[in-house]
Each structure stands twice: as C-alpha cells, then as structure tokens.
Chains A and B, each alone.
Chain A
Amino acid sequence: EDKVVQSPLSLVVHEGDTVTLNCSYEVTNFRSLLWYKQEKKAPTFLFMLTSSGIEKKSGRLSSILDKKELFSILNITATQTGDSAVYLCAVPQNAGGTSYGKLTFGQGTILTVHP
C-alpha cells in the first residue's frame, strides 16, 4: 500500500521566516510527487517533481526531490500571512492508464504565518 508521510503536522511562524516542509513516501511504480496548497477549499497545484536533485522554483516557493531517500521538501522563504494554508504532498497511485490521477495524499502540514 502506498504511503505518504508529511512533517511537521503543523507549524507556526512569523512573517519573514523561512520554512521547510517535509514529505517522505513509499510507493510502487513511482512516477512523480506533487505539492498542493489548500486554503479552505480545493487544493491548488504547486509543483510536480519527477527527477532527483532538480529544484523547482516559483517565486518564494521551491521544492526538490530525492528519489534515493524517497523524500521531498518544500521551502518557503520570506513567509507572508497569505502563505497560511495546508500544504499537501501526494503521489499518483499508478504509473499510467486511466487511473493516472488517483493520488495518495499525506496528512498535510498546517502552516500558520503570523504578522
């Protein structure tokens, strides 16, 4: 059974701080790892990682994958109150076919950024 574990489960910081969110996984037929941000409603896509060691960046957010250690991190620098959300890590359950899109999610990390 595929497993995705995130840590910490919750994090409280002040604006301007840098945070690192962790995601470890155990999955058969690994293809990719996804990060999402969820603010009260549906998750919004952040990153998809497929290759080890290649950092993906989007503004103050960045993420990297280590396929040897089965691990990914999501970094947020210079945090803002608008970054407060639940950050979810997920892996597809199958490598392809019509079931591509079945995701196993981690528990999520609740990030709270205080002014």
Chain B
Amino acid sequence: GAVVSQHPSRVICKSGTSVKIECRSLDFQATTMFWYRQFPKQSLMLMATSNEGSKATYEQGVEKDKFLINHASLTLSTLTVTSAHPEDSSFYICSARRQGLGTGELFFGEGSRLTVL
C-alpha cells in the first residue's frame, strides 16, 4: 500500500482562489519532503524542499509567496497555491525519504491534479 498519501487527488478551482494540498507519510517520519510539479507530457520539476520545523527551500524560479509550504509535523507537509491562475494548472507530487535509507527508498505520493478555471 501507499506509504505517502496526498490529498486531494484532484481539485478544480476558480482563478484567484487558494488551494491547499497535503502530503502525509503514513508509517514513517519524514523530516524532509519534496514537492514536484509536472506539466502535461513533461517531466517532474523540483519546486521546493520542505523542512520540518523550518522554512522551505525553493528552487530557482519558484515563487515562495505563490507556493506556500508548511511542514508542521514529522508526517505532514502542505503546499498552498495562493491566488491560483490557469497557468498553475499542473500535477503536483510530493515525495518523502524514510530516515536512514538511501534514495532508493524515496517514496512518492499519488499526486494531486490541479485545474484552475
């Protein structure tokens, strides 16, 4: 079964609204989670690294005020797309690494498909 859960799996919203996506590690603690974005027919692009108890670190070109990340507990990170616009429509995927294991045990969530009308 899934060890990293994302919710919601699909969301449709109006332009200008904010949308929150949750990423949970189900049976392990993750001090670090990663948020990726995938546009249709393109690969995954890392957006930011979510750090439990501290600020997220964003990749170049990703607006931190646009994509708010909160990692308030060892099992939950949230990504909030603020004032969403149609160009933010994308597939958002989180991943988490189980402590003590190599990158081979990097688990991905099922993804959240955002459509902004």
Contacts from A to B (Cβ < 8 Å): 31-32, 34, 41-45, 48, 88, 90, 92-93, 98-108, 110
Contact = CB atoms under 8 A, between A and B. Distances in A.
A110 B46 CA distance: 20
Interface stretch (B11-19, B78-86, B107-115): B107-115
A98 B32 contact: yes
15 contacts: A34-B103, A42-B109, A43-B93, A88-B43, A93-B46, A100-B97, A101-B96, A101-B97, A101-B103, A101-B106, A103-B46, A103-B95, A103-B106, A106-B43, A108-B42
B45 A105 contact: yes
Identify whether the interface residues of B are mostly helix, strand, loop, or mixed.
strand
B90 to A, nearest CB: 14
A43 B108 contact: yes
Interface residues of B, number: 26
Interface in B9-51: 31-32, 34, 41-46, 49, 51
B102 interface: yes
B1 interface: no
Contact of B102 (A32, A106, A107): A32
Interface of B: 4, 6, 31-32, 34, 41-46, 49, 51, 93, 95-97, 102-106, 108-111
Nearest to A36: B108
A45 B110 CA distance: 13
A34 B104 contact: yes
Contact of B51 (A98, A100, A110): A98
Given A32-B103, A48-B104, A106-B43, 10 more contacts: A41-B110, A42-B4, A42-B6, A43-B108, A48-B102, A101-B95, A101-B97, A103-B44, A103-B46, A104-B46
Nearest to A48: B104
A60 B32 CA distance: 34
